[in-house]
Amino acid sequence: MTHTLLGQTLSFHADPFIEGSAAATHHSHGAVVIKDGHIGWVGPAEARPKTPGEQITDYGDKLITAGFVDAHVHYPQTAIIASWGKRLIDWLNSYTFPEEARFGDAGYAAQVAERYMDLALAHGTTTMCSYATIHPESVDAFFMAAQTRGMRALAGKTCMDRNAPDTLRDTAQSAYDDSKALLEKWHGQGRLEYVITPRFSPTSTPDQLAALGALWAEHPDCLMQTHLSEQVEEIAWVRDLFPAACDYLDSYEAHGLLGPRAVYGHAIHLEPRERDRLREIGAGLVHCPTSNTFIGSGLFQMAALKAAGQRVGLATDTGGGSSFSMLRTMAAAYEVGQLTGTALHPAQLIWLATCGSAEGLHLSDKIGNLAKGREADLAILDLSSTPAIAQRAARAEDIWQALFPTIMMGDDRAVADVWVGGRRVQN
């Protein structure tokens, strides 16, 4: 069955941090042709191929774009989002660890996973890379919820064998064994990918980091995700825990946890050596702006890092981040950019939430762009979703002036429709 969507379309043929807004292609009267769950054609509506028996959905002047890709989330923190007044270590001890301890209950894990997926889809997010908890049940719940919805999703069991409550500790051996079993169970099943997941250096002994490094060496097609240089207190803690390491990144690299398929959340307070090494390896960094401001971590240096050639994606960091919305996350990235001296262009913001995150997760050949052959994960944006947005958009002289008010003021009301794997998801 062929399904044709009509509306404004926005796609990218290059990185707008390099080529500016000319990296994008916008059709004010565009079409997207979907067949067998993939995009078969994108272009001007008047030039579209017509297939006998095709279904047509006309979105008028709404904007058809790739579904959002959230490159760093903690789905088990869904219920504690917007908890008051803590920095990173206190946040973990006061909110995160007590909540994550509940995820050994498969029923509770399934309930939260279902709720999280529904919230993400309602905000136009069609792919996410999530941390689970130490419990295999939490990984199963996440992947089952994603599989039921036909989503492309990534996750892994979070591994911790120190500096965490007894109820949330595994061991070096059990982290390896559980992760390997879950990897063999889920990796490559449909649209699912397993991610090797040490929480961060302070909660893993060198033996556990080495065990996970060994597992990654055995399965180099997997991603590895963790946290890096989020807060200054954390960096000092790592220095005490790993006195032989020359910096925070070295605590991972020394144990086999640095490579081109590594994805590091936050990366705010990087040393020059760390920046150089990350760029040399081609590892991915993930900007989490609402989290970084909400728990007082610092200001990510987006412009400088992109200018230096770093691979960067964007994420909500649910629930340290204060919103499930990638629109709100784009707005926060803009605000952080202003504070660091560079106003990010709307083309750069939406690229980060789609193509940039897909590239960081090594999925740019599958998702993140309106392009022939990509999987048909789409978000349909109403660029006049509220009176405040509509009155500003009415004065727009180009697509960027029309889109920017939705980035800055939009929420789930701006998401008119969502498509996952070529199937329409009703909002």
Q: Residue 385 has what pLDDT?
A: 98
Q: Are 346 and 26 within 8 A, CB to CB?
A: no
pLDDT mean over 398-416: 98
Q: Residue 111 has what pLDDT?
A: 98
As given in the structure block, the two tokens for residue 28 are: 């004010």
Give residue 29's pLDDT band: very low, low, confident or very high (50, 70, 90): very high
Which residues in 247-322 belong to E strands, given as ranges?
262-266, 284-287, 311-314
Is 101 found in the same domain as 49? Answer: no
Mean pLDDT of the chain: 97
Give residue 392's identity as a one-letter amino acid code. R
- Give the separation between CA 123 and CA 316, rounded to whole angstroms: 11
Q: Are 9 and 26 within 8 A, CB to CB?
A: yes
Q: Residue 416 has what pLDDT?
A: 98
- Say if residue 45's pLDDT is above 90: yes
Is 254 found in the same domain as 144? Answer: yes
User: Percent of the chain beyond pLDDT 70?
Assistant: 100
Is 240 found in the same domain as 142? Answer: yes
Is 374 found in the same domain as 348? Answer: no
Looking up residue 46, the CATH number of its domain turns out to be 2.30.40.10
Q: Could you list the residue range(s) of the whole structural domain that residue 30 is in?
A: 2-67+369-425
- Give the separation between CA 349 and CA 27, rounded to whole angstroms: 19
For the segment 173-208, what is each residue's pLDDT rounded down to a tens digit?
999 999 999 999 999 999 999 999 999 999 999 999
Is 389 found in the same domain as 299? Answer: no
CA distances to 2, 4, 61 from 376, in Å? 12, 11, 20
Is 260 found in the same domain as 354? Answer: yes
Q: Residue 61 has what pLDDT?
A: 98
Q: Residue 50 has what pLDDT?
A: 87
Q: Are 53 and 108 within 8 A, CB to CB?
A: no
Is 352 found in the same domain as 386? Answer: no
Q: Residue 91 has what pLDDT?
A: 85
Number of compact structural domains in the chain? 2
Is 72 found in the same domain as 30? Answer: no
Q: Residue 89 has what pLDDT?
A: 86
Give residue 51's pLDDT band: very low, low, confident or very high (50, 70, 90): confident
For the segment 115-134, what is each residue's pLDDT rounded down to a tens digit?
999 999 999 999 999 999 99
Domain-ending residue, one of 326, 343, 360: 360
Helix (H) or strand (E) holding 391: helix 387-393
CA 339 to chain centre: 23
Q: Residue 427 has what pLDDT?
A: 55
What pTM, to 2 d.p., does this model score?
0.98
Q: Residue 86 has what pLDDT?
A: 80
- Say if residue 60's pLDDT is above 80: yes
User: Percent of the chain beyond pLDDT 90?
Assistant: 96
- Say if residue 369's pLDDT is above 60: yes
As given in the structure block, the two tokens for residue 17 are: 């941090």
Is 63 found in the same domain as 19? Answer: yes
Q: Residue 426 has what pLDDT?
A: 66
Beta-carbon contacts of 245 under 8 Å, excluding residues fewer than 6 positions away, are: 238, 239, 251, 254
How do the residues of the chain divide into helix, strand and coil, expressed in percent and rounded to 5? 45, 25, 35
Domain-ending residue, one of 360, 383, 417: 360
Identify any residues that bridge with 5 across adjacent strands, giving them in sequence order. Answer: 32, 57
Is 208 found in the same domain as 61? Answer: no
For the segment 276-319, what is each residue's pLDDT rounded down to a tens digit?
999 999 999 999 999 999 999 999 999 999 999 999 999 999 99
CA distances to 286, 290, 421 from 268, in Å? 10, 13, 34
Looking up residue 154, the CATH number of its domain turns out to be 3.20.20.140
Is 166 found in the same domain as 27? Answer: no
- Give the separation between CA 102 and CA 50, rounded to whole angstroms: 52
Q: Residue 18 has what pLDDT?
A: 97
Domain-ending residue, one of 360, 379, 407: 360
Is 387 found in the same domain as 312? Answer: no
For the segment 386-404, what is each residue's pLDDT rounded down to a tens digit?
999 999 999 999 999 999 9
Beta-carbon contacts of 255 under 8 Å, excluding residues fewer than 6 positions away, are: 206, 209, 210, 212, 213
Give residue 1's pLDDT band: very low, low, confident or very high (50, 70, 90): confident
pLDDT mean over 135-150: 98
